[in-house]
Amino acid sequence: MNWKKIVAAMSFAAILPSTAFAHGELWYDPTSHLPQFKKIVVYPFRGLDGEFKKSEDEKSEEYLANDFFDKRFVRKLKIKTIPLGSSLKENKEIRVDEEKYQSLYQKFPSEKERAETVSSVTGADGYILTDITRAEIEPHTSPAKTVTVQMRSWTEETGGPNGNRTYDERNWNISHTIPAQELVLYHMGANYNMYNRTGKKIMTYRNFEHTYGESGAVVAVTNLFTGKSKKALKPDRYKVEVFKDIVNEFRKDFEDIQDNFKDNKKKERIAKTIGFKGINLPSKTGGDEYSLKSAYFSMKDLAFKYTDAQIDYNGDGSAKYFVQGTINNYSLDRKWIEPYVTLYNKLVKEEKKDWIDSKGVKHTMKIKKYETGITDHHGYWQYTATVNGTFNLVDSSGKVLVSHTANETDDKEADAYRHLLKDFYGKVNKYLTGK
């Protein structure tokens, strides 16, 4: 197996998480009716310079990225959009007055003024702004490394006069060198902010992506977060493909908002209500808008998802039970994984031989010769999110009724945090339901 296939199929597979979708840091205002939005304006993404990126060239990176984002909403979320960043032919035919839409690009003193213009021109429920916060490549070298490998060879015989047996076993050590390899690690980050008709921010979302490719060549690469193989990337054409991963995760998280709204209508709840006292967060996390909002949102959202209790979102005084938490660590770190090898059984030779037993009956035996095969794995940067802390369910007097402390790891902070909350609310639900 050559290096390109190894990267795509094997090198990272052993350390990839089993979750099908990674989560970004999500918050939305439950009073905003966001799950019921039917029509939104999708602005073109803004680059690192803060300017909208738009092109009429349907093969350009700007057009392809904007078009992909819009289609995720229309086809997957069933939301009607006005895609300002990808004027598709059918939209061009519908828009009899293109000048009206040009007014949406002017420099607005605040989102209130932008929202008024968006509402008057389009009649949309709201609009979404996408900001690229990181887009870069990180070339680096996986150095050559020599390791000692214990080799083995043997023969397996089945259906012979002596039954099934293994023989001619031999063991020895060899010095094996994993070759150096030039790599590229692609990085991208994006923030999403949605506003309603009055310019009030009703949703925030942040996500990052890190994807490997090989320097100076077209290769199939493996997404470090989803474990899925992607189409080939080149250093000068990586942006659209990596951006698609972020968009797909955003679409999935937005879809969860819609699904949770539907579940809220039909899920039967017990006559016990959970309220929230807050979370103590590390200063770095507590001072970051996206992490802070996401932490509080998940605390409430997962209480709804994983318990049968009523949820007091707004603190109206109906709760007799309260959730409070302390998060000691909420971080994404990376460490270098040294080049290594894995071994497999390689079939070297196979043959069949006929033989006659004592009764004159003819049989066919199979003889297979095996030896150790070596697969090289080049070094890479491994990203690990760590969240540790304690959540408690307390009564109105502050007495702790349920407590859960854990150290969780995953590919992204939001996922590790959700693991901690899921296990905590599993305990809470057992306590409240008596099951």
Could you report the per-residue pLDDT of 112-131, keeping only the tens digit for each?
Answer: 999 999 999 999 999 999 99
Which of 82-91, 227-236, 337-346 is least confident?
227-236
Phi, psi of 149 (to 5 degrees): -120, 130
Query: What one-character DSSP code corresponds to residue 218?
Result: -
- Tokens (6 digits) for 60: 């350009």
pLDDT band at 96 (very low <50, low <70, confident <90, very high): low
- Amino acid found at 355: W
The answer to whether 152 and 169 have CB atoms below 8 angstroms apart is yes
Question: CA 339 to CA 176: how far, in whole Å?
Answer: 12
CA nearest neighbour of 137 among 27, 221, 79, 247: 221
pLDDT in tens, 273-316: 999 998 999 998 888 999 999 999 999 999 999 999 999 988 87
pLDDT band at 434 (very low <50, low <70, confident <90, very high): confident
Three-state DSSP class for residue 407: strand
Query: 176: closest CA among 15, 339, 14?
Result: 339
248-260: pLDDT as tens digits: 999 888 888 888 7
Residues in the chain: 435
Integer CA distances (angstroms), 368 to 150, 157, 171, 278, in order: 21, 6, 17, 65
Model confidence pLDDT, tens digit, residues 162-192: 999 999 999 999 999 999 998 888 999 999 9
Do 225 and 188 touch, CB atoms closer than 8 A?
no
Q: Is 123 left (phi over 0), alpha (psi -120 to 50) or beta?
A: left
pLDDT at 95 over 60: no
The answer to whether 185 touches 141, Cβ cutoff 8 Å, is no
* Tokens of residue 126, six digits: 């709201």
Neighbours of 112 (CB within 10 A): 12
* 364 token code pair: 């066919």
Top pLDDT among 382 and 264 is at: 382
CA atoms lying within 13 Å on the CB side of residue 98: 7
Q: Phi, psi (5° rounding) for residue 265?
A: -75, -30
Query: Tell me: the pLDDT tens digits for 261-271?
Result: 777 667 788 99
Between 54 and 225, the more confident residue is: 54
Mean per-residue pLDDT, 208-218:
63
So what's the pLDDT on residue 92? Answer: 54
